[in-house]
Amino acid sequence: MVKRILTISFWAITIAGVLLLAWLARQHYLNSPVNGLEINIMREQQSGFLIHEKLEETIYKLTDSLKSKRIRDIGMADLENNLQQNPWIAEADVSTTLNGVLQVIVHERSAVLRAYNRKNQSLYIDADGVIFPVNPEFAARVPIVNGYLNFPAVGYKTARISDSAYIHSSLWPAFQLNEKLRNDVFLSSLIDQIYINSLGEIELSPKLGSATVLIGDLSNLDEKLIYLKAFYTQKGLSSELADYRLVNLKFENQIVCTKR
């Protein structure tokens, strides 16, 4: 019985000692000075909406230049939240390395569509339907939707395509159509502009020929895109394509072409 008590006491003291050492090591680490800043911008291309130097300036401002800062003085959750107020940042992760370097990883938003309203104000939309502002530092090479579009400017913030100000405009069907186009290798290479005409109908501008493709609304969209793909697969390299002014896909199960 005594042996069992001694064994239990030994392990209890050992565990308590290990926990105490871990706590002391943690406190020593938290009281260590911040030993530099490392920023990683995660994006699909080399350049983008975020400028490394400006992001560095922002972080120094939010952390009081990291001057004489201990690791425990850095409110990492607050810093993450502040960085995520930047409309071009989708996600931010702040941590420190074992060497005391403040490590900031930001994931840049990736645009899939740029939209212009009738006032020539523009905004970007990403694949998740997040709307965010343009940036004078960088223009994403993505399809454009313009024409008779009425939607509010987004300002220095984000919104969602599902918000009432946008989902009730023609921006919503244009976004849905663009998702279909960009998920098809052939069609995403063929179409670079979506236009909303005065009747609220959708028109496309192909890179081949000079004909306008009239989609109309989104009814039977998959079928319309099948016909569109078949038409340009057959006629894309033909000189006959130059004779067409309009490729009309509004009617069910058929393509109506109008010559010049």
Q: Please give the full DSSP string across the chain, using - where no structure is assigned.
A: -HHHHHHHHHHHHHHHHHHHHHHHHHHHHHTSBP--EEEEEE-SSSS-S--HHHHHHHHHHHTGGGTT-BGGG--HHHHHHHHTTSTTEEEEEEEE-TT--EEEEEEEP-EEEEEE-TTS-EEEEETTSEEEE-BTTB-----EEEES-------SS-EETTSHHHHTSTHHHHHHHHHHHHTSHHHHHHEEEEEE-TTS-EEEEESSSSPEEEEESSTTHHHHHHHHHHHHHHHTT-GGGGGEEEEE--STT--EEEE-
Q: What is the pLDDT of residue 190?
A: 95
- The tokens for 74 are 């850095």
What tokens were used for 159? 């919104």
* CATH class held by domain 111-259: alpha beta
pLDDT, one tens digit per residue, over 61-104 is: 888 867 767 767 777 788 899 999 999 999 999 988 878 888 89
> Is the pLDDT at 189 greater than 90, yes or no?
yes
Is the confidence at residue 119, as pLDDT, over 80? Answer: yes
Per cent of the chain over pLDDT 70 is 87
Q: The pTM is what?
A: 0.85
| The pair of three-digit structure tokens given for residue 153, joined into one six-digit string | 């400017």
Q: Are 197 and 147 in contact (CB under 8 A)?
A: yes
Mean pLDDT of the chain: 87
Mean pLDDT check: name the lowest of 4-8, 33-37, 195-199.
4-8
pLDDT at 19: 56
The torsion angles phi and psi of 116, rounded to 5 degrees, stand at -120, 130
Per-residue pLDDT, 154: 93
Q: CATH second-level architecture of 37-108?
A: Roll (3.10)
User: Based on C-alpha coordinates, what's the Rg of the chain?
Assistant: 28
The tens digit of pLDDT for each residue in 15-68 reads: 656 655 555 445 554 557 778 889 999 998 888 999 999 999 999 888 886 776
Average pLDDT over every residue of 232-242: 83
Q: What is the pLDDT of residue 3?
A: 64
Local confidence band at 10 (pLDDT 50, 70, 90 cut-offs): low
In angstroms, rounded to a whole number, what is the distance separating the alpha carbons of residues 121 and 1? 83
Question: What is the per-residue pLDDT for 24?
Answer: 46
Span 129-147, mean pLDDT? 96
What CA–CA distance (Å, rounded) separates 243 from 81? 56
Residue span(s) of the chain under CATH 3.40.50 come to 111-259
pLDDT, average across residues 219-225 = 95
Contact yes or no for 179/113 (Cβ under 8 A) = no
Distance CA 247, CA 90 (A): 39
**Residue range(s) occupied by CATH 3.10.20 in the chain:** 37-108
- Give the per-residue pLDDT at 71: 66
